[in-house]
Amino acid sequence: MGSAVHVEDLRFGFAPTIDPAPGIDPVGDAKALIASATPSPAPTPIPGTIVLHHNAGRRFVLRIPDEWNGALVAAGTPGIRSEFANDAIWSETALARGYAFASSNKGIPFNVIAETNDGLASPHAAYPVPFAAPGSEGSTKGFRFGVLSPHPVGIAAWNEDFRHLVEFARGVLRVRRDALPRRTYAVGFSNGGGQVRSALERFPELIDGGVEYAGVRWTPQRSILDFLPPFLAAMPAYVRSGFTDPVARAAIEALGFPCDVLQPENPAHPSLWCDNYLLYSDLTLFVFALLIDPQATAFWSGDPAEPDADDPQRLPGIVRGEGLARPELRASYIPSDHARAAIKAFAHTGAIERPLISLAGTKDAFIHPDFHAVGYAQAVADAGRARLHRLYLIENATHADSFADFGYGLQSCWPFAWAAFDQLVRTVEQGDIRGLGTTRSVTKATQIP
C-alpha cells in the first residue's frame, strides 16, 4: 500500500515530497508549470495524510485531506516529469475542495540528467544540447532522459499506469477510509491531458469525467512527429532574419501554429516561437522519435557542439554524431511506417464515454490548438460523442504558464482550468449540460459557467 504520514498541511511548499536526486526535482517540476503571480486556490492549511508508493520504478502519491468529501481526483502527469509536477496546478485546487488527490511518475524513473562529455551513460539516447548557454562559447553537455534510459517507457505504458494509479488510490481509500470514492475525476495537462483522453476512451468504468488542458493528440496519420520537424526546419531562417522572414513564417503558420508574438524590446525573449523552439520543440522531437519509432537512431560521441558563429544561443551548432543526435537530421525527420503502426496502440479515437472538458491556449506554440484541441473536438464529434464534450479556447494563453513571466501579454490558463473542473462536477453531479457539444473562445475564467 505504501508508506503513510499525517501532516498539518498538504499544500505545495508545505507537504513533504521525496528527496531530490539526479533528474528528480519535485519542487522545480511544479514551479516550472505555473506563472509566478498566480494565487493559490488553497489559501489556508489543509491537514491530511500523504501516502507514497514505490514499486519497480513506478511511484504514486496520494493525498487525503482530513475533511475528505468522499471523491477522488487522479491527475495525468505532464511531460516526462515526476509525480509532484501537478502540485501547484492541480493538487491544491482539488485538496481545497475536499478531494483526495493522486498522481504518478508514469513509470519514468527520472526526468532529465545533464551529462558532461566525459563518460556518457547512454550515447545512443543522449541529446547533445546544440544551443550555447548565455555567456558560454558552446555546449559541453547532453541530456539523458529517464523515458529513454535505462530502458524506454512508452506511451501505451503511461496510459496503463494511469489505470493502475486510479486502482491504487481507490484501494487505499477503501482501507484507510472504509469507502470507495463516490466519484472519480481525471485531470491532466499536456501529456497528462493525453492520458485523460485515453482514460475516458479506454477505461471509463473507473472515471466519472475529466478536464484536460493542452492535451497531446496522437493519431497514426498526424502527430507531433509530423509537425515538429518542419517547424525545426523553418526556425533557423526565421531566427537569422530577426524574426521577419516571410517564407519561414508562412511555412510555420501553414502547419497550424498560431501567429508568433514578438517583443523586440526584450532581447531575452524576443519571439514566442523561438522560446518554444529552444526550450521544448527540438528536444521533444528527439525524445519522442526515439521513443516511438523503431527505425529512429541516434549516437553522440560526447564532443561538444560547435556553436553557430552568428547566434550561438538561438541557432543550433554543429554536432558530431549520427542520426537524430544531429540537429539538421531532426529537422528532416519523417516518421517511418513502423512509427505510425506503433502509434495505433495508444492513438486517440475521440470515442469518450464520460463527460470531458478540454481547454487550449490560442497562443500555444508547442502543442498547437488547431490539431491537438480543435482536431480532437472534431474526432469526438465524428465518434458521435459531442454530447459529452466542451472545448474552451483561452485567448492569449500558451502552453506552460511559466511563459507568462516572459511577457508577450500572455495570461495564465489555470484559473480557467479550475473553473472548468467546477463545471465538470456540476455536469456529473447536478446534470448541468450547458455548453455541451460546443467550442467557445473565452477571455475570462468567469465565462466558464
User: What pLDDT, on the 0 to 100 scale, is given for residue 37?
Assistant: 83
User: What pLDDT, on the 0 to 100 scale, is given for residue 445?
Assistant: 96
Residue 316: closest CA among 232, 248, 260, 246:
232
Cβ–Cβ < 8 Å for 59, 18: yes
User: What pLDDT, on the 0 to 100 scale, is given for residue 305?
Assistant: 86
Q: What is the 3-state secondary structure (H, E, C) of 350-395?
A: CCCCCCEEEEEECCCCCCCHHHHHHHHHHHHHHCCCHHHEEEEEEC
Contacts of 69 (CB under 8 A, 6+ apart): 97, 98, 99
- The DSSP bridge partners found for residue 145 are 112
Question: Cell numbers of 97, please?
Answer: 475542495
User: What pLDDT, on the 0 to 100 scale, is given for residue 120?
Assistant: 73
Return averaged pLDDT per consecutive 10 residues of the chain, 449 residues in all. Answer: 90 94 94 90 96 92 98 97 96 97 97 78 89 62 92 97 98 96 98 98 98 98 98 98 98 98 95 96 98 97 87 93 97 98 98 98 97 98 98 96 93 95 98 94 96
User: What pLDDT, on the 0 to 100 scale, is given for residue 57?
Assistant: 85
User: What pLDDT, on the 0 to 100 scale, is given for residue 134?
Assistant: 65
Q: How far apart are CA 292 and CA 24, in angstroms?
A: 23
Q: How far apart are CA 3 and CA 22, in angstroms?
A: 23
Q: How far apart are CA 313 and CA 34, in angstroms?
A: 25
Q: Which amino acid is at 161?
A: D
User: What pLDDT, on the 0 to 100 scale, is given for residue 135?
Assistant: 54
User: What pLDDT, on the 0 to 100 scale, is given for residue 302?
Assistant: 85
Q: What b/e string do you get for 244-275 counting C-beta neighbours within 10 Å, with b at 16 or more?
A: ebeebbebbeebebbebbbbeeeeebbbbbbb
Cβ–Cβ < 8 Å for 74, 165: yes
All domains of the chain in start order, with CATH = 3-108+154-218+346-447 (3.40.50.1820), 112-145+223-341 (no CATH)
